[in-house]
Structure formats: structure tokens, C-alpha cells
Amino acid sequence: MKKLLFIDVLIVFCMFACKKETTAPPTTWEKTFTPYLENNNQRDTVYDDENITFSTDQTPSDRYIWSWGDGSKNDTTQTIYAIHQFRHIGLNIIKLRVERGNTYGENTDSVWVIHHAIPPCGFRIDSNDSLYVRDTAHFVANIATPDCQSTCSFSYQWDFGDGKTGTGYHTTHAYDATGTFTVKVKIARCESPDTIAQKTVVVGGSTEKNDYKCQCVTDAGTFAFFDTIEVQNLPYNPIKVDGRVLQRLSNSNRYFGEFNCKPTGCDTYMLDVFDSQDSVQYRFKTLFNFYAINCSGKRL
């Protein structure tokens, strides 16, 4: 009788343990935000021998997963930027997934990749052409073609034109003052002469500011009011409008930005600056309103 009772208890315990294991709630992911995604090369068309840098401002986060749309393996990194050279010409969709605990956000961008014929062993610097004071900028010493590969290591010595230096194939730098600077990188390899690549960058954002007084009205023609905005760093890309960074769309006079992104959408801001820079038109919409506001004005 005691033996039978022990077996019964063992069976009941096993059934309870197995049931508890199989009914444990699975880990679920919840999409709660849309991360900011920026093409730091500022061009929709890039070359198949060019290193492209993408970045986000979503920090801190547990993990950043970059998918390039060209068959490459996802590059999972703990940094807010990633560098990639596309394998194939054509349209490529870039996808960024940012994870925090059991929540995540996703965003996509697209670039056209075309073939670029460069003489053997060409070098160049990849970076934004226009930067902001005290903002961290990324510089890449790009080896233009596979023919430049060496049997020994390359070394890279950077001169940012403001008295500061750096090392490494990829480096970062923040300028302390506005102005135009010539960035140079000296590339040394054991069996060939040293190579120097250079480019010019414009640094702005601390002193170049313009105020515009504008008349605004909603799409429905109601809620008319006056607004004064501060536009900074014209005509370079990017610019700031009342502290918000807007990116220039191609080579047009239009600038665009998305802010406060949530699963339901983002605040948007679109601004047109006319060639004389004496007048502007802009349109903005927030998630808190069901209407867009259109404004136009003159520089004060």
C-alpha cells in the first residue's frame, strides 16, 4: 500500500512539473517606437565600391541589428552606427532594428547602388560635407577598389585641419569652432609609397542664425497666428530650425525632419528656403493635432 502511494505521488508530481514547463508564457516582443535612421553620406545614389555609413540616435539600447538588403549577413553591433559596402547594383533596402528589453523599433531606408569605375588604388574620405560644432562626425578612409589590397597592414594618420589628429581606418571627430576645414588622411603601406586623400568640410551651427517672422494658418484656413522661427547654418546640410535638425532633400531648397516618433506616426517638419534666403515657407504637423499648419515669412 505504501509502495503504491509513493508511485501515485510521483506520477502526480511529474504531471504537475511537465504542465508547468509547457504552459510557461513565451517571451513576447512589443513594437513601441520608430528609431531615427540617417544615411550619413546624404545621397540616395551610391557606388558599389563606396563605404556607406548609417546611424541612429536611439541610445542606450540593448542591440542594433542592421540588414542591408543585398544578401549580406546582418551586422549586429552595440554601437549606434554601422558601415557597409553594397555587393550588387540596383535598389537596396536598409533595415534597422533597435531592441530594448522586450520592446523594439524598426525603420527602413533605400539607396540606389551603381557601378563606379575608379583607377586602381584610389583612396578617398567618406563623411558628411557639412557638420555641426560639437557634434560627433564620422570619417572613413575608403579604399576605392580591391586592387589596392596589400599583403601587409595599412596605417592611417588623420589631420582634421583644426590642429587635431586621429588614427585608424574609421575615426570620429568633433569640431570646436565653425569654419571651412581641409581634412587629410595619410595612408601608409609597406610595399608602396604613402598616399594622401583629402576633402573639404564646412562646420557651422553656432553663429550662423537667421530669424524669420511668419504668418501661419491650418489646412482648413482656421487658427491663424504669427510665428518667429530661428534657422541656423543656411545654406548647408543639415540645418537647424528652432533646435530641430532638418536634412536637405537631394540638391533642392527643401529640408525635412521627423521627430517624437511613436507607433502611430511622427511629428513632421518641412521647410523651403528660397535662393535669396530672404523668405521661407514651412509646414509642420504634430501627433497631438489632427491638422497641419502652413507658414510663410520673411527674414527679420
Show the cell assigned to 289: 493635432
Whether 110 and 129 map to the same domain: the answer is no
Q: Provide the domain limits for residue 230.
A: 209-299
Residue 277 lies in a domain: yes
Final residue of a structural domain among 65, 97, 114:
114
Whether 186 and 218 map to the same domain: the answer is no
Task: Tell which residue, 183, 47, 197, has the closest CA to residue 121.
Answer: 197
CATH of the domain at 191: 2.60.40.10
| Predicted pLDDT of residue 223 | 83
Please check whether residue 121 is in contact with residue 165, taking contact to mean a CB–CB distance below 8 angstroms. Answer: no
| Residues in contact with 185: Cβ distance below 8 Å, sequence separation at least 6, in sequence order | 123, 125, 139, 141, 156, 157, 158, 159, 196, 197, 198
pTM given for the model: 0.40
Q: For residue 224, give the amino acid letter.
A: A
| Predicted pLDDT of residue 205 | 63
Neighbours of 199 (CB within 10 A): 15
Residue 200 lies in a domain: yes
Residue 12 lies in a domain: no
Query: pLDDT of the chain along its 300 residues, tens only?
Result: 334 444 444 444 444 444 444 444 446 888 888 888 888 776 777 777 777 888 887 777 888 888 887 777 666 666 787 888 876 667 788 888 988 888 889 999 888 777 665 445 667 788 877 777 777 788 888 765 555 655 567 788 999 999 999 998 888 898 888 788 999 999 887 667 788 888 888 887 655 688 999 999 988 877 889 999 998 877 766 788 887 878 777 667 888 888 887 777 788 899 998 878 899 999 988 877 778 899 999 999
Final residue of a structural domain among 114, 133, 163:
114
Residue 23 lies in a domain: no
Strands 293-299 and 209-218: antiparallel
Residue 89 lies in a domain: yes
Residue 7 lies in a domain: no
CATH of the domain at 279: 2.40.128.120
